[in-house]
């Protein structure tokens, strides 16, 4: 059993064990990948203020996200095709999350269906929807999520159209993977992955295939996006979706103060300051640079979460210090899942919690709820005075 001490350890194993097509799908941003890179590197421009001689015994990272108790302020983000990173990947990730005590979010574009995950877990999970044109399908999807007792609806608002990720086009990304000489040659080197896939029946988009009509190529993420996603989305439609769900709603993909105000106005319970992990608008600011002005503008009106770029517990701590009630991680847990299945996701969560706990202690705090901006040393201009 390899000794895992960081998320990077998991990433190295993940790269070895998962076919290139799915590694590339995860490990890429749109176009030049500037935003993808800066999401992570900007966390390193924020420094932590060391304190000493403070009683740090009996520490806790437990807090609440949208009123739910969580072991630390981290939820697993919705990630499409998770069941292609590892057989039955969504079920494995959801199980790891529920044992750890953090929320799991199932993507619309998952391989395991809502029902698959509900049948194989005990605690409610969150369900993420895209804003689709087919209102009937949308209603049925929400009914299925309600029947599965999902405890929050995450509406992703930053993907009416899909950002271009060059590698996916070059690799011909699809689920299940198309069998070409190149893809077969690569998959032959991934025995553990291949055996897992042979042992499961879940190899298609579980929430879509058999439920949606008029999809020309149900294996292709880009074809489905182009055909099914609602490019005419506006705030009235978002409000209608919020009203359709009688429970907690989180709007994911907010990067602008005006949009954050609208999110509060349409009755969402929380927003995720997110640029989709740098996969949509390349050239957008990193989320850690963006969050402060959003917290200043709407922090007293709506709960604010942050994702994009988190690879360590220190990043979670920095986001909390800048006003995020919670965070989401995407790639960090996918690396774990591809590396070692459910155990790898647990490992990713353990690494992050340990880093969070120790860093919080070094900053002189024993309760995550008492952490404020004071723990940070923020370079002048970090949050920017943009014209």
Of 252, 289, 305, 320, the one binding ligand FMN (CB under 6 A) is 252
Number of residues this chain uses to bind ligand FMN (CB under 6 A): 25
Residue 309 touches ligand FMN, criterion: CB under 6 A? yes
Q: Which stretch binds ligand FMN (CB under 6 A): 164-172, 191-199, 329-337, 342-350?
A: 329-337
Of 270, 329, 339, 345, the one binding ligand FMN (CB under 6 A) is 329
Of 171, 274, 353, 359, the one binding ligand FMN (CB under 6 A) is 274
Q: What angle do CA 148, 154, 157 make, to 5 degrees?
A: 140
Site for ligand FMN in 219-238 (CB under 6 A): none
Q: Provide the minimum distance between the beta carbon of 240 and ligand FMN in the complex, in angstroms, as a whole number.
A: 19
Integer Cα distance of 123 and 151 in angstroms: 9
Q: Read out DSSP for 316-359? A: HHHHHHTT-SEEEESHHHHHHHHHHHHHHHHHHHHHHHHHHHHH
Of 303, 307, 315, 342, the one binding ligand FMN (CB under 6 A) is 307
DSSP alpha helix (H) spans, the chain: 7-17, 20-26, 34-41, 82-85, 89-100, 114-119, 135-147, 166-171, 181-187, 191-198, 221-228, 235-244, 257-265, 287-298, 313-321, 331-362
Of 73, 89, 103, 277, the one binding ligand FMN (CB under 6 A) is 277
Q: Provide the minimum distance between the beta carbon of 306 and ligand FMN in the complex, in angstroms, as a whole number.
A: 9
Site for ligand FMN in 26-45 (CB under 6 A): 26, 39
Q: Provide the minimum distance between the beta carbon of 259 and ligand FMN in the complex, in angstroms, as a whole number.
A: 16
Integer Cα distance of 344 and 347 in angstroms: 5
Integer Cα distance of 248 and 229 in angstroms: 23
Contact 254, 260 (CB under 8 A): yes
Catalytically active residues, by annotation: 276
Site for ligand FMN in 139-198 (CB under 6 A): 156
Q: Read out DSSP for 25-50? A: HHS--STT-HHHHHHHHGGGGSEE--
Residues 85-104 as x/- pattern, contact with ligand FMN by CB under 6 A: --------------------
**Closest CB to ligand FMN: residue number:** 330
Integer Cα distance of 346 and 337 in angstroms: 9
Of 4, 7, 13, 78, the one binding ligand FMN (CB under 6 A) is 78
Q: Which stretch binds ligand FMN (CB under 6 A): 138-146, 178-186, 193-201, 327-335?
A: 327-335
Q: Read out DSSP for 219-230? A: T-HHHHHHHHB-
Nearer to ligand FMN, 7 or 148 (CB): 7
Q: Provide the minimum distance between the beta carbon of 235 and ligand FMN in the complex, in angstroms, as a whole number.
A: 18
At residue 270, φ and ψ (nearest 5 deg) are -150, 160
Query: Residue 27 corresponds to which tokens in the numbers above?
Result: 């490990």
Of 10, 46, 63, 79, the one binding ligand FMN (CB under 6 A) is 79
Q: Provide the minimum distance between the beta carbon of 330 and ligand FMN in the complex, in angstroms, as a whole number.
A: 2
Q: Provide the minimum distance between the beta carbon of 108 and ligand FMN in the complex, in angstroms, as a whole number.
A: 6
User: 28 CB contacts (<8 Å, ≥6 apart)?
Assistant: 36, 165, 166, 167, 168, 279
Residue 83 touches ligand FMN, criterion: CB under 6 A? no
3-state helix, strand, coil in the chain (%, to 5): 45, 15, 40
Q: Provide the minimum distance between the beta carbon of 210 and ligand FMN in the complex, in angstroms, as a whole number.
A: 19
Q: Quick one: which of 360, 334, 358 has its CA closest to 347?
A: 334
Residue 77 touches ligand FMN, criterion: CB under 6 A? yes
Residue 25 touches ligand FMN, criterion: CB under 6 A? yes
Nearer to ligand FMN, 311 or 365 (CB): 311
Q: Provide the minimum distance between the beta carbon of 126 and ligand FMN in the complex, in angstroms, as a whole number.
A: 11
Q: Quick one: which of 320, 381, 376 has its CA closest to 352?
A: 320
Residues that bind ligand FMN (CB under 6 A): 25-26, 39, 77-80, 107, 109, 128, 156, 252, 274, 276-277, 279, 307-310, 328-332
């Amino acid at each position: 059993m390899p000794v895992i001490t960081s998320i990077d350890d998991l990433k190295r194993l993940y790269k070895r064990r998962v076919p290139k097509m799915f590694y590339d799908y995860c490990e890429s941003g749109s176009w030049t990948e500037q935003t993808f890179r800066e999401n992570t590197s900007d966390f390193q421009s924020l420094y932590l203020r060391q304190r000493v001689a403070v009683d740090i015994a009996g520490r806790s990272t437990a807090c609440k996200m949208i009123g739910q108790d969580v072991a630390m302020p981290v939820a697993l983000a919705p990630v499409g095709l998770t069941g292609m990173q590892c057989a039955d990947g969504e079920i494995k990730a959801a199980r790891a999350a529920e044992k750890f005590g953090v929320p799991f979010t199932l993507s619309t574009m998952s391989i395991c269906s809502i029902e698959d995950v509900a049948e194989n877990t005990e605690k409610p999970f969150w369900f993420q929807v895209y804003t689709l044109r087919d209102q009937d399908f949308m209603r049925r999807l929400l009914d299925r999520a309600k029947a599965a007792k999902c405890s929050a609806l995450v509406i992703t608002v930053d993907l009416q159209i899909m950002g271009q990720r060059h590698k996916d086009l070059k690799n011909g990304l699809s689920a299940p993977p198309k069998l070409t000489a190149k893809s077969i040659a690569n998959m032959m080197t991934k025995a553990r992955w291949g055996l897992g896939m042979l042992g499961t029946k879940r190899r298609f988009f579980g929430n879509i295939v058999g439920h949606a009509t008029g999809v020309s190529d149900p294996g292709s993420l880009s074809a489905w996006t182009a055909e099914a996603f609602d490019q005419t989305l506006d705030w009235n439609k978002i409000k209608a979706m919020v009203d359709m769900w009688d429970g907690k709603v989180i709007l994911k993909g907010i990067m602008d103060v005006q949009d954050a105000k609208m999110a509060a106005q349409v009755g969402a319970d929380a927003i995720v300051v997110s640029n989709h992990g740098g996969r949509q608008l390349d050239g957008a600011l990193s989320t850690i640079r963006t969050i402060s002005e959003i917290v200043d503008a709407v922090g007293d009106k709506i709960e604010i979460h942050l994702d994009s770029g988190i690879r360590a517990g220190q990043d979670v701590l920095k986001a909390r210090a800048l006003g995020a009630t919670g965070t989401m991680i995407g790639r960090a847990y996918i690396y774990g899942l591809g590396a070692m299945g459910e155990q790898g996701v647990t490992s990713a969560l353990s690494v992050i919690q340990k880093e969070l706990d120790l860093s919080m202690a070094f900053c002189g705090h024993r309760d995550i709820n008492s952490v404020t901006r004071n723990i940070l040393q923020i370079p002048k201009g970090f949050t920017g005075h943009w014209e």
